[in-house]
Amino acid sequence: MALQNINPTKTESWKKLNQHFSEVQNLELKELFKDSSRKDDFTLSTDGLSVDLSKNRITKETMDLLISLAEEVDLKGAIESQFTGEKINETEGRAVLHTALRSTSEEPVLVDGKNIKPRIQSTLRKIKSFSKKVISGKWKGYTGKSITDVVNIGIGGSDLGPDMVVESLKFYQNHLNVHFVSNVDGDHVSEVIKHLDPETTLFIIVSKTFTTQETISNAETIKNWFLKSATIFDIPKHFVAVSTNLDAVRRFGIDKDNVFPMWNWVGGRFSLWSAVGLSISLAVGFDNYRKLLDGAEAMDLHFRNTSFENNIPVQLALISVWYNNFFMAESEAILPYSQYLSKLPAYLQQAIMESNGKGVDRNGEVVDYQTGTIIWGSTGTNMQHAFMQLVHQGTKLIPTEFIGFKESLHGLESHHKKLMANYFGQMNALAFGKTKQEVHLELKTSNDEDLIQKLLPFKVFEGNRPSTAILFDKLTPEALGKLIAIYEHKIFTQGILWNIYSFDQFGVELGKEMAKKLLNKEQ
């Protein structure tokens, strides 16, 4: 069944939400927390994960109304359409099946009448055996040496996902050094290859289309560099490709046994679960890669089968719509308290903004309401010493998502205690602030009342600034898989609510065309 086509702002629920907003917009978190069960009432949990929504400017009624909105636009039906392979990416005539990539169930998923599960399984087997050979050293380069370095050549979804996951799972990484080349800036590729040995380096060219300017330019440059010391007969030992465009891969000179398939029903920014994740499997081993997929599958099942009241991605999406469309907040900050997750905000910028940065609805009409949020962020505690000033005392309302882990990986307990004290401390400060009276009391030690009065306004924190605490037990491959899948489903839910198509990206094309024209003019 095609997606429904409902303007959210014309629904009954939206009208009620508007009315409700006028009643509750000035409610203070401080007041709301007088209800001692608030934290429990607004905390959702699943295996190894809790999501505390209590420091958001919501009441039970807010969430009930938002859920009615989700029901009114048939979110349930849309979820089923996605999971069962309906062509919900209508503008490109494609299904959206990253969920099938991690599914271990026997339930067939049909695309054009064919079950895609066997192809997924055989590709996973290929990833497994290839990773094993390379990691164990059995895969030899052209002079008989084992591989020491892997270079992923790709951009956008063919780079950000694998790069972010490899960085996030560094703790689990084996001896292989994994590098990423993405930018068409020649200095990027030059810096990466400058210390590499062609005899011991494996290159993975990742491009769904195999026509992307940046990727093909970098791949050509690297091939030429390689051929300075090796011959074309050595290419099969050092170059593999991940693509849907088999002809272009062959023309580039890559052996057909060295091609890992990709499919049109997987969007670039949702593709790390496909062979695009080959560099992940090489970096941390196939078993850990499978665990990443398992974590994502657990979240898929949660998203598909849990009531909206207890559904983590749905609740996060609804709250985000609440701020975006009623409070008119423009952006959202994603704040992981783990240095391993330093690349998560950039990854989510593509996932979220390329998906929901749309100004035309599913009827082809220009929307007259806000859609995709601006995503930004960085790791705690570093960002506390950078942009958090604006979040605490600036003029903008910025909803925040704090991602934390109860346990650290290396076990430096005293550090982890400090890290988590900051994690919770920041959220408390945002929510409850510091009143004039409190500041006055604090400054009292100085005895200079004039000075106190002068400084007072600058030291007040008005508070009432929202945050969500996403707290995992530990940064494992499963936990990371869950976290990424939460955001994928949040994106999907918001696209459905806003009545836009989340899975095309025509907005990236015009600039590319212009660049091409300029290049052609110069030649």
Kindly state whether residue 212 participates in binding ligand F6P, applying the rule CB under 6 A: yes
Please, what sign has the CA dihedral across residues 189, 192, 196, 199?
A: negative
Q: Give the interface segment with ligand F6P, choosing from 61-69, 206-214, 367-375, 444-452 (CB under 6 A).
A: 206-214
3-state secondary structure of 402: strand
Binding mask 115-144 for ligand F6P (x = CB under 6 A): ------------------------------
Active site residue 385: yes
Q: Which of residues 8, 141, 268, 377 is near ligand F6P by CB under 6 A?
A: 268
Using the minimum distance from each CB to ligand F6P, give the nearer residue, 58 or 262. 262
CB of 133 to ligand F6P, least distance (A): 25
Active-site hit among 138, 406, 415, 512:
512
Question: What is the greatest pairwise CA distance in the chain?
Answer: 83
Q: Which of 85, 157, 198, 495 binds ligand F6P (CB under 6 A)?
A: 157
CB of 155 to ligand F6P, least distance (A): 5
- Least distance CB 132 / ligand F6P (angstroms): 26
DSSP letter assigned to residue 380: T
CB nearer ligand F6P, residue 371 or residue 505: 505
The contact mask relative to ligand F6P for 351-390 (x = CB under 6 A, - = no) is ---x------------------------------------
CB atoms within 10 A of CB 172: 20
Contact set for ligand F6P, span 167-196 (CB under 6 A): none
SS3 149: strand
CB of 262 to ligand F6P, least distance (A): 8
Q: How far is the CB of 207 from ligand F6P (least distance, A)?
A: 3
Contact segment (CB under 6 A) with ligand F6P among 168-176, 193-201, 209-217, 323-331 equals 209-217
> Which listed residue (385, 410, 513, 522) is catalytic?
385
- What is residue 253's DSSP assignment? T
- Residue 259's φ and ψ, nearest 5 degrees, are -105, 130
CA 497 to CA 175: how far, in whole Å?
Answer: 45
Residues 6+ away with beta carbon under 8 Å from 480: 165, 168, 169, 292, 295
Q: How far apart are CA 478 and CA 259, in angstroms?
A: 27
Closest CA to 479 of 407, 415, 431: 407
What binding mask, one character per residue, do residues 326-355 give for ligand F6P by CB under 6 A, x or -? ----------------------------x-
The single residue of 199, 354, 401, 478 carrying the catalytic annotation is: 354
Q: Are 150 and 177 in contact (CB under 8 A)?
A: yes
Q: Based on the number of CB atoms within 10 Å of its own CB, is 25 exposed (0-12), middle (13-18) or buried (19 or more)? A: exposed
Integer Cα distance of 34 and 25 in angstroms: 18
Buried b / exposed e over 292-321, threshold 16 CB at 10 Å, is bbebbbbbbebbeebebeebbbbbbbbbbb
Task: Choose between 81 and 215: whose C-beta lies nearer to ligand F6P.
Answer: 215
Residue 205: strand pairing partners: 153, 241
Q: Please, are residues 176 and 282 in contact by the beta-carbon 8 Å criterion?
A: yes
Nearer to ligand F6P, 208 or 237 (CB): 208
49-52 and 467-472 as β-strands: parallel, antiparallel, unpaired?
antiparallel
CA atoms of 373 and 398, how far apart (whole Å): 11
Nearest-approach distance from CB 343 to ligand F6P, in angstroms: 15
Active-site residue flag, 354:
yes
Q: How far is the CB of 198 from ligand F6P (least distance, A)?
A: 24
Near ligand F6P by CB under 6 A: residue from 58, 65, 97, 155: 155
Q: Is 156 in the site for ligand F6P (CB under 6 A)?
A: yes
H-only helix segments in 326-448? 344-348, 355-356, 388-393, 413-432, 436-443
Which range of residues in 155-163, 165-173, 285-293, 493-501 is near ligand F6P by CB under 6 A? 155-163
By CB under 6 A, is residue 158 in contact with ligand F6P?
yes
Binding residues for ligand F6P, rule: CB under 6 A, are 155-158, 207-209, 212, 215, 268-269, 354, 505, 508
- What residues act catalytically? 354, 385, 512
